[in-house]
Structure 1
Amino acid sequence: MSVQGTILVLDGVSTNRIMLKVQLTAAWYHVVQGEKLAGLGALLRRTRPDLVLTAQTLPDGTAADVKKVLAADPALADVPVVAITPQNDRAARLQALSDGLDDVLGYPFKDTLLLARVRSLLRSRADRQELSIRDSSQTMGFGEAVQTPIAPPAIAQIALLTQTPRTGALWCKALTPQTRHQLSYFTLPDLQGVLSGPAPDAIVIELEPSEAGGNVLADLRSRGATRNTVLIGVLPHDDANRAAEALDKGADAICLGGFHPDEISLRLETLITRKTRDDRLRASIRKDLSESLTDPLTGLHNRRFAMRALDQIAHQALETGSGFAVMLADLDHFKAINDRFGHAGGDIVLTEAALRLQSAIGNAGFVARIGGEEFMIGLPRCSAAQALKQADIICESICEKPFCLPDDSTLTSVTISIGVKWCAPPDLRTNDSRNAVSQLIRSADQALYAAKNAGRNQVHLRNSAA
């Protein structure tokens, strides 16, 4: 997206194009003009617009054809397309929505409504682009992600939020034959009813006669549970100023002229499909983030997580004045296990040891596998004595019960050596936090070597200054 935002205006009538350019340029958008479908592909590739405003009918095509050209280019498939229809041409409006266009504006329209719709669509696209960038496996070096069609959920949950229960019941009755989704209705004073359970996929809100509807839009958009919920506002009149205000408060779409179930159902289908795609992108990002901080074999945290967590523990210790400990633990004679049982047997030992370590630590701190048979444990808010006690519990959890390995008639005993470095906040103030934490880890590593040199299967503590 360009700094200004590039908007492509398509219309066979030059005066219409000029009028739109004047309106948009005055709001500091970069405007590109076209008049027909022919040559559109080359124009799109050259200008890379962030949004397209197109007449419903072009000299050689329609707004639906424009949408198809954009959809054929993966780099432009998410560019919003708004159709401009003749005034009060409801059939053209419904046709445009049925064709999957992002919105429809009836000509003539006020600058306030046009610019609010542009702002809303550009915000939405910017959010989707950010999701796509974060989710791109190519940027992480894994090649091109596999593209699969995204369909809306079989049944979405739609909440109707109206001024009175009677209006809600009427809307529900009118919309039920038009949609396959599950409907429920609430009154605006009963917003808690909407928020008490799982967040709906979409909420249709009556914006007049009171101001409550507009305030609810802003409220819903700011809440974590409903931040990504589709919000559609309904206004009883063609009030461009109120519509613009609602869009700026977070509405995804505005239906002017009252509740029309056919229009609502078409908007719901398009917006819920988009939401489903975005939700899957968010889930993919969360999964990738989790995997980037997780050891794939044991399910424990990895070194990257451990370093960040330890740095955070150190900062908290400076703020609270409490001590903390870092431990490095190493399974004893692990090479002999690999030599005897192979790497498959070694993996079984590592996995079982990870379970025992995690069980021993519980919620007291974190456990991470930082390489081979080596683990790091971080314990916030503890004394040196508490750290030693916890390390003894870890040792006991490993050696108290033999490990069961394949192709072996007997159980195999495994032990662990642990180096503990306990730190008080004054130790951290002598250096910057990064160097201090690195020094703590070196101290724990020295303690681990001391434990191994002393005969293994034991704990060694270092509590000198970092």
Structure 2
Amino acid sequence: MPGHILIIDEVATNRIVMKVKMSAAQFRVSACANHAEAQKLIVKQPPDLILIGLGDPALDLSAYCRALRDNPLTQNVTIIAIGVNDTTQARFAALDAGADDVLARPVNDALLLARIRSLLRVQSTHQELQLREGTSSALGFEEPAAVFETPAHVALLSATQQPDSALLAALTHGLGHVVRTIDPDQALRDRKLQPPHALYVIDATTQMATPARFFGLVSDLRARPDTRRSTQLIVVPDDAPDMAAMFLDLGADDIVATSAQASEIALRARRLIRRKRIQDRLRDTVRDGLQAAVTDPLTGLFNRRYVDPHLTRMTKQAQASGNAMAVMMVDIDHFKTINDTYGHAAGDLVLKQLAKRLKENIRAVDMVARVGGEEFLVALPGTTGPQAQTTAHRLLGLINRTPFDIGEAHPPLPVTISIGVAISREKATLKGDRVGTICAQADAALYAAKSAGRDRVAMAG
């Protein structure tokens, strides 16, 4: 969903132009001239991302980035600095002080927007993992004990037999982790690596391979189950902003120019490894702390015990941001007939396959749970009515047009579902929403869908 961007730039022309560009890209935008004004806006509503335009030559960017990182309201906010002097020392100083990226003027619009999308995706995933960890704590589970961190495994992928010696040295001497040089094709052949690579560094500067080969490599690594959670740092030519933008949109985590100093390459690599370890720990908290208590044993989905506190936290976040939120109730049509005709084992197979289809066709930030015998709940934060309706019809088609396997003794069984959808109210009145209210509205819409003939979507009034 669109993020909230705060633009800080003393130069009015820069500020106006950037605001127009960000608004055209469907972001919510606030803008101000200086950091005193910015602080007032931040207190009122913390942004998701801050664009700092260096119109003021007296600004100490490093000090300001550190101040933002020390402020509880902005310590996790993404920061991009625009207009940094195009020197490697200035770039490193800004990154080391806490900026997520630094870009020199003139800024390539495609690269800037791709960088923003990439960083907001990371932020959204991290916030969701923290939300789930908070739900785990609310349920009374203890925090995991601190673990000793062993060196991470890093793969340097190059299309040449001899990888760039300066790049290899920057990684080997600057990280303190295990660096392995492998051919790109080997990276795709390796399965279930033990231990898996925390970071893939892809050298896309060689003239021996076309950009398309590297584009495919990035997307393949991001799509495969055994490598999709590894991070990716792409080394690109200095004069190829469109290539860099494409890598980011295909799933790369970060890019770095060929001319970057070894210290900057190592800094970016360390950040990605640290990010992966934090996200891995958050995932482990959810998996280990909640699995037995809040997971439905048949489908592997969350159960009602998890839904209530998580929806409460999700609603509070919607209230704070002013974003809409959707809840769907999904019910299998004539499920009792399936059990009576084919047996409970067949019914269990239908439930498991339905759970799998739902889970595989929603976003990572969404939640799906089994809340009754044949009833499922799907919660979609940051989702408007039209978006939720489109999603519901898409899920309806995915379920209803593919028969379910109910065992060797029977042919695949066509199964239909009905969906009721409710949307939280808008900003001013959202405080009146309660978890029970929105769920009751979705339940009522589901009843309307069934009363109208089943196999359909109904929206709450």
TM-score range normalised by the length of the shorter chain? 0.5 to 0.7
- Residues in 1 aligned to 2:177 and 2:232: alpha-carbon distance in whole angstroms: 15
Give the paired residue count: 314
**Identity across aligned pairs (percent)?**
32
Contact 2:80 2:101 in 1 (8 A): yes
- What is the CA-CA distance between 1:7 and the residue it aligns to? 0.6
Partner-residue secondary structure (3-state), 2:36: coil
Alignment partner of 1:273 is 2:274: yes
Whether contact under 8 Å (1:162, 1:187) holds in the other structure is yes
Deviation at 1:158, TM superposition (A): 1.1
Task: Give deviations 1:94-124, integer Å, cap 9, x for gaps.
Answer: 1112223211111111111111111111111
Whether 2:182 is the aligned partner of 1:181: answer no
Call closer, same or farther: CA 1:34–1:192 in 2, change over 3 Å: same
1:191–1:141 Cα change, 3 Å: closer
Cα separation, partners in 2 of 1:318 and 1:267, compared to 1, 3 Å: same
Is the Cα contact below 8 Å between 2:188 and 2:221 reproduced in 1? no
Q: What residue in structure 2 maps to residue 90 of structure 1?
A: 88
Paired amino acid for 1:176: T
Kindly provide the amino acid, as one letter, of the partner of residue 127 in structure 2.
Q
Match of 1:444 in 2: none
Larger Cα Rg: Structure 1 or Structure 2?
1
Question: Structure 2 counterpart of 1:284, which letter?
Answer: T
Partner of 2:204: 207
Residue in structure 2 matched with residue 436 of structure 1 by the alignment: none
**Amino acid in structure 2 at the alignment position of 1:51:** L
Distance of 1:38 and 1:243 partners within structure 2: 34
Aligned runs of 1:188-267 on 2, under 5 Å?
A: 188-192=184-188, 195=191, 197=193, 198-208=195-205, 209=207, 210=210, 211-257=212-258, 260-267=261-268
> Contact 1:171/1:259 (CA < 8 Å) preserved in 2?
no
Q: Which moved more, 1:170-179 or 1:214-223?
A: 170-179
Q: Is the 8 A contact 2:66 2:98 kept in 1?
A: no
SS in 2 for 1:274: helix
Match of 1:13 in 2: 11
Q: Which runs of 5+ in 1 are unaligned?
A: 296-301, 306-310, 326-424, 427-431, 434-466
State the AA in 1 paired with 2:181.
Answer: Y
Deviation of 1:89 (Å): 2.3
Contact 1:206–1:233 (8 Å) recurs in 2: yes
The 3 A distance-change label for structure 1 pair 23 and 290 is same
Determine whether 1:282 maps to 2:278. no
CA distance in 1, matches of 2:117, 2:304: 43
Deviations 1:399-449 (A, max 9, x none): xxxxxxxxxxxxxxxxxxxxxxxxxx99xxxxx99xxxxxxxxxxxxxxxx
Counterpart for residue 457 of structure 1: none
Change in CA separation of 1:189 and 1:251 when aligned onto 2, cut-off 3 Å: same
The residue aligned with 2:69 is: 71
Q: Aligned partners of 2:88, 2:163: CA distance in 1, in Å?
A: 23
Cross-structure match for 2:111 = 113
Task: Write the distance in 2 (CA, Å) between the matches of 1:57 and 1:180.
Answer: 38
Question: Per-residue CA shift, 1:208-229, capped at 9, x if unaligned?
Answer: 4422111111111112222221
Aligned to 2:366: none
5+ long unaligned stretches in structure 2: 297-302, 307-331, 347-408, 411-415, 418-461
Aligned counterparts of 2:111 and 2:103: Cα–Cα separation in 1? 9
Instruction: Give secondary structure in 2 for the equivalent of 1:104.
Output: strand
Which of 25, 30, 36 is 1:27 aligned to? 25
Picking from 127, 130, 134, the partner of 2:128 is: 130
More RCO (CA 8 Å, sep 6+): 2
Report the alpha carbon displacement of residue 230 of structure 1 after superposing the two structures with TM: 1.3
In 2, Cα distance between equivalents of 1:95 and 1:217: 29
**What's the offset of the Cα at 1:262?**
2.2
Cα distance in 1 for partners of 2:60, 2:262 equals 25
Q: TM-score, normalised by structure 1?
A: 0.58
Q: Could you tell me which amino acid in structure 1 is paired with residue 104 of structure 2?
A: G
Contact 2:203 2:235 in 1 (8 A): yes
Question: 2:81 aligns to what SS in structure 1?
Answer: strand
Task: Report the Cα offset of residue 161 of structure 1.
Answer: 0.6
Q: 2:48 aligns with which of 50, 56, 64?
A: 50
Is the Cα contact below 8 Å between 2:91 and 2:102 reproduced in 1? yes
CA contact (8 A) 1:37 1:58 kept: no
CA RMSD of aligned residues (A): 4.0
| Cα offset, 1:19, TM superposition | 2.3
* 3-state SS, counterpart of residue 224 of structure 1: coil
1:307-456 aligned at under 5 Å gives the runs 321=342
Amino acid at match of 1:206: D
